[in-house]
Amino acid sequence: MNIPKRKQLLVQLDIENGGMISNNKQVRESFGNIYYNGINFRVGWQTDTEGDNYHQLYNYPIYGIGLYASTFRKPEIGTPTALYGFFAAPIKVGRFKRWDFNYRISLGLASNFEPYDEENNPLNILLGTHRNVFIDLGAQANYRLNNHLQLGAGLSFHHFSNGSIRQPNKGINLLPLSVTMTYVPYRQTPDFTKHELPELDEKGQIHLHYAFGIKQFEPQNRKRYFKSTVGMYWSYAVGYKWRLGVGGDLFYSDSGNQPEIAGDALNKIGSMLSGGPAFYIDHVLTKRLYLNGNIGVYVHRNHFNGEIKPVFLRIGTRYKVWKNAYAGVSIKAHAGKADFVEWTMGYTIQQRKSRSPEPISP
């Protein structure tokens, strides 16, 4: 009788302290230097050779969920909390010796901010919403004290933004140092054997997607406007982890049909539409989950619709929900300033390599 092997569980408590990166003069004048304290509680599951080939490619990473809480000691900002999922991959194989080095990517939703309000909270020029996207990037070193405890330290970068759903949206960027204690309730030795992976049998992929979202332009104008995207891209696998390609996007902005935004350009098709070609990149994490990015150049754009730069950027995450159909969320931006959050759905057409016919036996 085969007894199912249970996944190795890790529980981590992380205490962090750092400062806010104030790259805006108005923010520095309003708040001065801002320092904060935070805490993370994470629960993760160790992968091994069973299942996805990508576990091996990323040196058998840890997947999990986390809770975050912090205080800025500034009642105008609030005391944010966040719920997020994370992916932590070892930088070097052989972590179950004394030392373990890894990097981490986390994405989630934060709440409990005190948003900007013209009358009740005019000082918070950072964020205009109670709930915001939480992005975390980090690197960590851990030292194993015994079979159940690890002590570590790390450096992180946190970003909070609402993607211009509501203004203001200057965002919050944090750079903390952390001290971490990791508890392994039942330590076992997972199978980290390396196997030869099969050759990818694809020629390329065609990606078709549609996305939608909303955007507010000014805190004084509380109205929010519908925006959408239609895109088509072709990409080719550069190994298992990366896909590169080209394509383009067509953008629609309802604000281009509103007199308070479009002004003299009202009632023109070109006032609502924009777009251009773009470079395509995927960073594949599992068979279903991947990070997506684009760098594009407008052939046509409208400054009054928030398209303030000739180059547009996109970064987000996508997940294959059924066969080649996928869903995801991205932030479209211009030079680091968010345009809007794209809620995306799409379909991938797989192009396979032609196989030589089997020889016919005489």
Contact 164, 215 (CB under 8 A): yes
Judge if 178 and 207 occupy the same domain. Answer: no
The pTM score is 0.85
Judge if 207 and 149 occupy the same domain. Answer: no
Residue 361 has a pLDDT of 45
Domain boundary among 126, 149, 183: 183
Q: What does the pLDDT look like over 176-206, one tens digit per residue?
A: 999 999 999 987 766 677 778 888 877 799 9
DSSP state of 254: G
The rounded distance, in Å, linking the Cα atoms of 87 and 106 is 6
The boundaries of the domain holding residue 334 are: 202-351
The rounded distance, in Å, linking the Cα atoms of 163 and 170 is 10
Residue 138: C-alpha distances to residues 1, 107, 169, 175, 176 (Å): 42, 12, 23, 10, 10
Domain boundary among 151, 183, 215: 183
Residue 5 has a pLDDT of 58
pLDDT at 51 over 50: yes
The mean pLDDT value of the chain amounts to 89
Domain boundary among 138, 154, 183: 183
Q: What are phi and psi of 139, to 5 degrees?
A: -130, 145
**Residue 96: inside a domain, yes or no?**
yes
Report the CATH number that the domain containing residue 118 is assigned in CATH: 2.40.160.20
pLDDT at 301 over 60: yes
The rounded distance, in Å, linking the Cα atoms of 148 and 8 is 12
Q: What does the pLDDT look like over 331-358, one tens digit per residue?
A: 999 987 889 999 999 999 998 766 555 5
**Residue 197: inside a domain, yes or no?**
no
Judge if 179 and 42 occupy the same domain. Answer: yes
**Residue 249: inside a domain, yes or no?**
yes
ω into 362 cis (within 30 of 0): no
Judge if 163 and 227 occupy the same domain. Answer: no
User: For the residues 61-69, what does the mean pLDDT come to?
Assistant: 96
Judge if 345 and 260 occupy the same domain. Answer: yes
**Residue 191: inside a domain, yes or no?**
no
Judge if 206 and 295 occupy the same domain. Answer: yes
Judge if 140 and 227 occupy the same domain. Answer: no
**Residue 112: inside a domain, yes or no?**
yes
Judge if 165 and 21 occupy the same domain. Answer: yes
Judge if 150 and 35 occupy the same domain. Answer: yes
pLDDT band at 74 (very low <50, low <70, confident <90, very high): confident
Judge if 167 and 251 occupy the same domain. Answer: no
Judge if 14 and 57 occupy the same domain. Answer: yes
**Residue 195: inside a domain, yes or no?**
no
Judge if 178 and 206 occupy the same domain. Answer: no
pLDDT at 276 over 90: yes
Work out the number of other CB atoms within 10 angstroms of the CB of residue 42. Answer: 22
**Residue 150: inside a domain, yes or no?**
yes
> For the chain, how many structural domains are there in total?
2
Residue 3 has a pLDDT of 46
DSSP state of 117: B
The pLDDT > 70 percentage for the chain reads 93
Strand ranges for the chain from DSSP E? 9-20, 35-46, 62-71, 78-90, 99-113, 132-144, 149-161, 172-183, 202-218, 221-238, 242-253, 273-284, 289-297, 311-322, 325-334, 337-352
**Residue 167: inside a domain, yes or no?**
yes
